[in-house]
Amino acid sequence: MPSINVGLDCRNWASSGSDGYTSTTASNNAVYSYKYSGGTDGNGNVDDTVGTGNLAITVTINADERYVVNGVSFTGDIESQLSSAPGNSPTSVIINDSDSQTGSGYYTVSVRDTSANCTFPCDPTVTNKPR
């Protein structure tokens, strides 16, 4: 089974706008920011070729240990091809893409800040391209 790694850095403050981070609002209305690395574009996004077999995307939070994976949700026209499973630690999750048809979708990793007891969303894309 092919696999690819994605890193996720999280901070409990807003992006400056030029630092490569994306600002997001947490469940407690505080502003956090995140930045993905890895994937096929270096920014956490993943392009897959249809028909090459299930792709395992391992997302690992590379930040302060207070940040853990709270869950994963999916949207987009390949939503039915995406699923998730716990990773080997509270800071990782495995996204599985069956890549049986073309299209794009998003996986949103919900991150929990265990110090502030809140969650915030982080979402890159997965695109299944034709051969």
Note whether 109 and 82 are within 8 A (CB). no
Nearest to 68 by CA among 43, 95, 86, 55: 86
- Environment class of 34 (CB within 10 Å of its CB; exposed 0-12, middle 13-18, buried 19+): buried
pLDDT at 49: 86
pLDDT at 103: 86
CA separation, residue 78 to residues 58, 82, 83 (Å): 18, 7, 11
Nearest to 110 by CA among 102, 120, 124: 120
Q: How many domains does the chain have?
A: 1
pLDDT at 1: 65
Q: With a cut of 50, which residues of the chain have pLDDT below it?
A: none
pLDDT at 79: 74
**Category of 62 on φ-ψ map: left (φ > 0), alpha (ψ -120 to 50) or beta:** beta
pLDDT at 106: 85
- C-alpha atoms less than 13 angstroms from C-alpha of 117 in its C-beta half-sphere: 0
**Which pTM was predicted?**
0.91
Q: Show the domain range for 10.
A: 3-129
pLDDT at 68: 98
Domain CATH for 47: 2.60.40.420
Q: In the beta sheet, which residues pair with residue 103?
A: 128
